[in-house]
Structure 1
């Protein structure tokens, strides 16, 4: 969950439920979760029905054509407006021709393509990345009234969280603060799992959103002090200078960070320690931020062994689908997981 101060850290995203789609009944469960959320957000009845149609198409495709399909249903809130957002990820055969798949009535045998035309018509915004033989990640956002001019800005950053099995809350959290020419990303992995870990990570989020412009190393130091008396955790801050094309990164503990550019992954350095307990030295490091680059941060709920390739469409995908694909490819099931992606223009 992204629990953010509305004055400084918008939009606010809440991951409502992950649903694994392996049986026909789970298609109905995805629809119910999405339409219930739309009702809670005061969508008109006709729009709730449209959300149900689109989400049913997405989940049906996962059941019929994909492997290991999962759907995340979440809300995205601005100051006065809220949207329903759906992320579907699978390890299926992928889609050879994504453009063709989004045309009504089009499908290729064995691919996740049926019904995507309805999704494109009914969603206010959608994005997809698909790699033949490796799977598909699709996101779709629905505003209360189709075609509304969105208050919620176009995504230049997006994150997702997933709790370890058996827990209702994730001990990892993230936040993003935007200003002209600059974007600052923060992630905290609360030690352990469950509510106490979440308490630590949410304390880090609150402090981050309350503070004004602060150097990443100073932010990490402040969060380290703030987490005393909690379980503590790993924390990292990435300050993206979108004009000067640099990213300044400070990490304490095992938050993974990398810059993706030109088909390469450049790792960013975090120093050993536990925020709230032990921090001998907190340092920041500067890295180039080429045009079109993406900055990825993740908790140790993902392995570090993921890679990108020069011709991979993941490099040009929307932040949310990048996050979903990385969680699919590198996620560790026996841990809380969090992925945060920020992109340059």
Structure 2
């Protein structure tokens, strides 16, 4: 069984080369912490330069969201996000030598070659989201693909949301916790919920939420939603309290699973469990209330076959409230 306790993304606004330099220095420190060798550190710097340069030259401004994930296969994730003009001919833009800014035109092609994982989505008039990950080996949990964006509230350096994932054969388990308020004390509450999840991610849903309620009494409390997915039975089970919601979306299916009212660790009714079928090709989107609750499902219809991190990034870019911690965790069946 693999258990992942997630980290949040650092956000760098890019509207001039100085922002690119700040992001590059941050990535260099993360690479050292992850134990990357000099070659991979150099690759990370090139990716930052290329993606950041594209934001300055083509989008005018945008953001780089950067996260490091330790573990057996340490991973650096870089998301480039903008609301610029978009790319009208993406296959052409990926070819070396193509440029609309008078440069050599090696940017996206170079990033694709250097990255362990690469994906991109662009819509004319809406903007572009690009994903690049660096990792020594392949991700495990091959029955599933997943992606997440977690950002602290503006002005905060610590995200009050926390998340976790676990994989065991055809089963996956997830948790998203939103600590009350912002900052370090909110993070302490949400991390307590994820630490408990990591010990027994496939425990009974109702019993696990009841235990979380007891443990989080020592904190300010949190909204917590746990879920379990099974590829073989095509079933999704959920239990939660607070404002962390789940929505299941495919091109022909859109259904929400809402947690019960209350705050784990403060006031909560007896835990309940909800079940539903999980259609083939559907994305399971679990998010805190830093994302608008009424986001349109068609916003991610075109991303169902992409890396789930792109769907998470588009939702945060277009429907994030912009004044709160936000976490969007997306899971789907593996290819």
Q: TM-score scaled by structure 2?
A: 0.91
- Please state how far the C-alpha of 1:56 moved relative to its aligned partner: 0.5
Q: Match of 1:30?
A: 23
- Aligned counterparts of 1:114 and 1:45: Cα–Cα separation in 2: 22
Which residue does 1:228 correspond to in 2? 217
Q: Does 1:88 align with 2:80?
A: yes
Structure-to-structure mapping, 1:26-175, within 5 angstroms: 26-66=19-59, 68-79=61-72, 81-107=73-99, 115-143=107-135, 149-150=137-138, 156-175=145-164
Deviation at 1:82, TM superposition (A): 1.6
Report the Cα offset of residue 59 of structure 1.
0.7
Contact 1:71 1:86 in 2 (8 A): yes
Tell me by how many angstroms 1:39 deviates: 2.7
Q: Deviations over 1:291-337 (max 9, x none)?
A: 11110011111111211329942222211111111111111121111
CA offsets 1:12-67 (integer angstroms, 9 cap, x no match) = 54335210112221112222222232233232223322221121100111112125
- Count of paired positions: 331
Cα pair 1:262 1:310 within 8 Å, conserved: no
Deviations 1:40-97 (A, max 9, x none): 3232223322221121100111112125511112112232x32222111111122233
1:197 shift after superposition: 0.7
C-alpha deviation, 1:150, in angstroms: 3.2
Question: What CA distance in whole angstroms lies between the structure 2 residues aligned with 1:312 and 1:150?
Answer: 27
Gaps of 5+ in 1: 1-6
Identify which range, 285-294 or 195-204, moves more after superposition: 285-294
**Distance change >3 Å, CA 16–CA 292, structure 1 → 2:** closer
CA distance in 2, matches of 1:174, 1:40: 21
Task: Say yes or no: does 1:9 pair with 2:3.
Answer: yes
Q: Is contact 2:63–2:82 with CA below 8 Å preserved after alignment?
A: yes
CA distance in 2, matches of 1:25, 1:310: 32
Give 5+ residue unaligned stretches, structure 2.
none
Answer with 122-131 or 306-315: which moved more.
Answer: 306-315
Instruction: Tell me how far 1:213 sits from its aligned partner.
Output: 2.3
Bigger shift: residues 192-201 or 152-161: 152-161
Task: Look up the match of 2:316.
Answer: 327
Aligned-residue CA RMSD (Å): 2.2
* Contact 1:294 1:343 (C-alpha < 8 Å) held by counterparts: yes
Task: Provide closer, same or farther for how the CA distance between residues 114 and 331 of structure 1 changes in structure 2, counting only shifts above 3 A.
Answer: farther
Alignment of 1:144-223 (within 5 A): 149-150=137-138, 156-211=145-200, 213-223=202-212
- Aligned with residue 307 of structure 1, among 296, 306, 327: 296
Inter-CA distance 25–272: structure 2 relative to 1 (3 Å threshold):
same
Q: Deviations over 1:242-266 (max 9, x none)?
A: 1111111122111121001125431
The C-alpha deviation readout for 1:102-148, integer Å capped at 9, x for no partner, is 211224579xx8610010111111112222221221111113xxxx5
1:343 paired to 2:314: no
Secondary structure of the structure 2 residue equivalent to 1:227: helix
* Paired position in structure 2 for 1:4: none
Query: Compared with structure 1, are the counterparts of its residues 242 and 67 closer, same or farther at alpha carbon in structure 2 (3 Å cutoff)?
Result: farther
